[in-house]
Amino acid sequence: MGRKPVLHSSLLKLAFALGSPFFNSKLTPVFGAEPLKEGEVFPGVIVIYTPGHTDDSISIYVEDEKALLVGDMLQGTKNGLRLPLIYEDLEQLRKSVEKVKQFKVERVYVSHGISGPPRWPL
């Protein structure tokens, strides 16, 4: 099920209020799908529970590629990775970043911005 983002700044609240007619769309639920579990291993792939952006966020580590797919947990800029402006729990988000930094990573793939080498946020 879709859910509304948790907004932490007045500017974002205004932007979403003005843009909401364009953002609203009907989402079709997925039935019969089984949720992934932290630590679940598929051949060469590890699921990592990384809450913070949302309480059910995961990241995926691809061992052979030394690649990490973080989705919306981080955003990529020309200066490196940064925390997103929209998140549910900042402390959890920071802990999740620390968790994924423990993996041997050569590339980080983000949903928003520039993917590339792991230049972690402070």
Helix/strand/coil (H/E/C) assignment for every residue in 48-112:
EECCCCCCCCEEEEECCCCEEEEECCCEEECCEEECCCCCCCHHHHHHHHHHHCCCCCCEEEECC
State the pLDDT at residue 14. Answer: 73
State the pLDDT at residue 110. Answer: 96
Q: What is the CA radius of gyration of the chain?
A: 16
State the pLDDT at residue 8. Answer: 73
**Which one-letter amino acid corresponds to residue 4?**
K
State the pLDDT at residue 26. Answer: 64
d(CA 60, CA 17): 33
State the pLDDT at residue 68. Answer: 97
What is the phi-psi region of residue 3: left when phi exceeds 0, alpha when psi lies from -120 to 50, beta otherwise? Answer: beta
State the pLDDT at residue 77. Answer: 94
State the pLDDT at residue 38. Answer: 79
Tens-digit pLDDT profile for the chain (122 aa)?
A: 456 667 777 776 777 667 666 665 666 777 887 777 777 778 889 999 999 988 889 999 999 999 999 999 999 999 999 999 888 899 999 999 999 999 999 999 999 999 999 999 86
Q: Tokens 């970043």, residue?
A: 97
d(CA 56, CA 28): 18
Q: What is the pTM of this model?
A: 0.74
d(CA 48, CA 57): 9
